[in-house]
Amino acid sequence: MKKYTEITIYDIAEKLNLATSTISRALKDHRSISEKTIKKVKKTAFEMGYQPNNLAASLRNKQTKTIGVLLPTVTQPFLSSLISGIEITAKKAGYTVMIMQSHDSYDEEVNLAQSLYNNRVSGIICSLAMETQDTSHFQIFINNNTPLVFVDRVPKNFNTYRVVIDNFSAGYKATKHLIDQGCKRIAHLSVGSEFGNLYSERKKGYLEALKDHNIDIDEQLIVRLTTVTYDEAEKGTNKLLDLKNPPDGIFTPGDILGVSALQCAKKRGIKVPEELAIIGFNNDPISEIIDPNLSTITHPAEKMGQAAAKIIIKNLKSLKKDDIKEITFLNTEVLVRESSKKK
Amino acid sequence: MKKYTEITIYDIAEKLNLATSTISRALKDHRSISEKTIKKVKKTAFEMGYQPNNLAASLRNKQTKTIGVLLPTVTQPFLSSLISGIEITAKKAGYTVMIMQSHDSYDEEVNLAQSLYNNRVSGIICSLAMETQDTSHFQIFINNNTPLVFVDRVPKNFNTYRVVIDNFSAGYKATKHLIDQGCKRIAHLSVGSEFGNLYSERKKGYLEALKDHNIDIDEQLIVRLTTVTYDEAEKGTNKLLDLKNPPDGIFTPGDILGVSALQCAKKRGIKVPEELAIIGFNNDPISEIIDPNLSTITHPAEKMGQAAAKIIIKNLKSLKKDDIKEITFLNTEVLVRESSKKK
DNA sequence: TTGTAGGCGTTATCAG
DNA sequence: CTGATAACGCCTACAA
């Protein structure tokens, strides 16, 4: 049985009695090649079913023109918008995107980072796994001058580019919004402290807003969740609503949590927003579907992706190891919907 | 300024006074290399910060050990479960997964398929874009003996592996369930006929079920949507509920549509399921959150992914061009929840 | 405008 | 058990 062999520029060269270099150049519309030759080469290349081999080209060029994207998961609406943003910018610049999911596991993240590096991605955009406590597995990118950008869930002490929102001020805004609506006892579902610490920033914003408005902090109103899940949030909300002196507002640092709280309140016959105002975070599609609509904090997710990709592309040519890498902050906004509109 | 150069097995060889071939073998625990050498090589490789270059290895080996995954989008819960399935199986076999999104655009799909091929993926798993009407852009994979598996939204006349559910029987089951609940006038939101025609199969199942149960088909009860969106479904449902003789049941071939119908009914003060029973399709997370819970059809999405990946891996070694490629059917089930439970 | 030749980093074959 | 060498497919500096 005949074994399959690739058709290479060498085959084309042979057929046309030209040099491989000519073929290579013609295929890329090199200006030093005559129109006629270019046409001829492309035509026969097509006829012969030639397919360029990126591996060979990348090896030779020492660049793959692909951006690696390493995320906890691809299902979170926020992250998928982020990907869209990356894709848009990457495409414009002629880059391909390679997506991998860590599933919030540190071990997987380590492996995939390796794998991405071994495939010599031109740059990498990463949002850390929940579990990740140290980021030494990204050191290879730094050491080898591969642009690295962290997004959203970023490490604290690591000199790299970061594209984030100001979680503190977003948490502040969300809480202030509830205060403005007349809430006096505002609860918070907080999520276990973590390395990327975006939840803890949101919580700090919450605390600060209360303080600034002379509202005493009641520890009973802060329920700590271990995971960001619907069920955990339900338990937490029940705990809050079981209090002698229950809250009249809840700020949840995520929409799933907000939706859960909302449903929980409804089940108990508590009117939202009249008796309990709720605001979430992220503007997930579900926040719009739920009844009443969930107020939330909007992220410019797609823009974050674009910003991250732009940093990669910009730095491909000029990257100095010890430069100080700036942090890009993007805006958040309070999106007021029914679940918090008391007035 | 010193320009960066990779550390290669050649560098290690030089340092240790060994041949590159020995290094290469040692790094892969080749049995012909002594324990001692292996240890020594690995140790210095680590110390020197050596990182294997997959591009070179792949070029040489003529295989990349990566599976390309080309999907409309990564956000649909069904598709992300599918990806999980692929990842699980791929990982077990030592394969990497490269995900790309066509965003349901034919042009993007063509480009990305090319790109995947140019990167010489070992195999490709694809669910077609909505727009796609012809699949000649996948011919290169066939021609070059690269295993190709279509999943869920598959082409009709193309001899490749396919992993699907039986959309016809699923549509039948969903409709029969409504009939069993006592519905007499069952509506259907149908989605514009398309190449992959999974929606039309579901519709056929719907029609057949009605026929088998001696229920006359009322064309007024079949509303055609042009896109699978919340808003379109809302319009469609309103149209149905505006009828003189409105339906007492709706089968929507997707959960977003089902949720939309449900909300729409609620807004109009129609009781679900008492006055209107609803069943969706896919078992998206949202179907569980919505109140009342949405009955639906479950997909074994993750299993489909695993099945597809297994086919790829199995065929990597033995692929004959003209073999007839089997179709793998996976089971669906009716998941009865509140939105359709009349009895 | 086109050709020659060497090398990107790895691995497999063949030889020792 | 280890070494020398060619080859994977492509690109580019240099030469013509």
How confident is the model over B298-328, as pLDDT tens digits? 999 999 999 999 999 998 766 565 567 788 8
Q: Which residues of B touch A75 (CB under 8 A)?
A: 74-75, 77, 80
- Is the model's pLDDT at A321 over the cut of 70? no
The whole-model pTM stands at 0.90
- For residue A171, give both structure tokens: 């948490």
Token look-up 């005559």 returns A34
Could you tell me which chain A residue has the CA closest to the CA of B58? A55
Per DSSP, the three-state class of B278 is strand
**What Cα–Cα distance (Å) separates residue A152 from each residue in A71, A149, A316, B210?**
10, 10, 22, 51
Single out the residue of B62, B10, B140 nearest to residue A55, CA to CA. B62
Max alpha carbon distance in chain A (Å)? 90
Q: Which residues of A touch B98 (CB under 8 A)?
A: 98-99
Closest Cβ–Cβ partner in B74, B98, B145 for A74 = B74
Token look-up 């030592």 returns B94
| Average pLDDT value for chain A | 92
- For residue B172, give both structure tokens: 């039948």
The percent of residues in chain A predicted with pLDDT above 70, rounded, is: 96
Q: For A49-60, what is the mean pLDDT?
A: 95
List alpha helices for A213-268, DSSP H. 230-241, 255-267
For strand D, the positions having any atom within 7 A of a protein Cβ are 1-13
The percent of residues in chain A predicted with pLDDT above 90, rounded, is: 80
Same fold, A9-52 and A167-299+334-340: no
D7 C1' to B60 CA distance, Å: 8
Is A140 within 8 Å of B51 when comparing Cβ atoms?
yes
Residue B186 phi, psi (nearest 5): -105, 120
Q: Which CATH superfamily is domain A167-299+334-340 in?
A: Response regulator (3.40.50.2300)
Three-class DSSP labels, A178-189: HHHCCCCCEEEE
- Is the model's pLDDT at A118 over the cut of 70? yes
- Is the model's pLDDT at A167 over the cut of 50? yes
Cβ(B185)–Cβ(B221) below 8 Å = yes
Task: Show the CA angle centred on residue B46, arms to residues A144 and B3, nearest 5°.
Answer: 25
- Is the model's pLDDT at A322 over the cut of 70? no
- Is the model's pLDDT at A215 over the cut of 80? yes
Could you tell me which chain B residue has the CA closest to the CA of A53? B118
Element (H, E) at B239: helix B230-241
Q: What secondary structure letter does DSSP report for B213?
A: T
Instruction: Compute the nearest-CA separation of B291 from chain A (Å).
Output: 8
Q: Which residues of A touch B118 (CB under 8 A)?
A: 51-54
Instruction: Compute the nearest-CA separation of A216 from chain B (Å).
Output: 34
Enter the CATH code of domain B9-52.
1.10.260.40
Residues in B lying within 8 Å of A, measured between beta carbons: 4, 6, 49, 51-56, 58-59, 64, 66, 73-75, 77, 80, 83, 87, 96-101, 115, 117-120, 140, 143-145, 230, 259, 263, 266, 286, 289-291
Instruction: Compute the nearest-CA separation of B210 from chain A (Å).
Output: 31
Q: What secondary structure letter does DSSP report for B91?
A: H
Q: Can you give the pLDDT at residue B74?
A: 87
Q: Which residues of B touch A6 (CB under 8 A)?
A: 144
Domain boundary assignment for chain A? 9-52, 62-164+301-330, 167-299+334-340
Q: Which CATH superfamily is domain B62-164+301-330 in?
A: Response regulator (3.40.50.2300)
Q: Can you give the pLDDT at residue A196?
A: 53
Cβ(A280)–Cβ(A228) below 8 Å = no
Q: What secondary structure letter does DSSP report for B192?
A: -
Closest Cβ–Cβ partner in B51, B73, B144 for A118 = B51
Q: Which residues pair with A327 in a beta bridge?
A: A162
Cβ(B327)–Cβ(B162) below 8 Å = yes
Q: Which residues of B touch A119 (CB under 8 A)?
A: 54-55, 66, 96
Q: Can you give the pLDDT at residue A159?
A: 85
**Which parts of chain B register pLDDT below 50?**
1-3
Q: Within 7 Å: CB of B320 and strand D?
A: no
- For residue A183, give both structure tokens: 């809430």
A52: pLDDT confidence band, cut at 50, 70 and 90? Answer: very high
Cβ(B248)–Cβ(B276) below 8 Å = yes
Instruction: Compute the nearest-CA separation of A284 from chain B (Å).
Output: 12
How many A/B residue pairs have CB atoms within 8 Å?
Answer: 99
DSSP string covering B34-53, please? Answer: -HHHHHHHHHHHHHHT----
- Preferred mutation among B119, B139, B260 to probe A, highest tally of A CBs within 10 A: B119
Choose the weakest-confidence range: A103-112, A190-199, A315-324: A315-324
Nucleotide nearest to A51 (CA to C1'): D9
CA A223, A226, A231, A233: dihedral to nearest 10 degrees?
30
| Other Cβ atoms within 10 Å of B141 Cβ, number | 21
Could you tell me which chain B residue has the CA closest to the CA of A67? B98
Q: Can you give the pLDDT at residue B41?
A: 94
- For residue A276, give both structure tokens: 């309990």
pLDDT in tens, B249-294: 999 999 999 999 999 999 999 999 999 999 999 999 999 989 899 9
Closest protein residue to C11 (Cα–C1')? B60
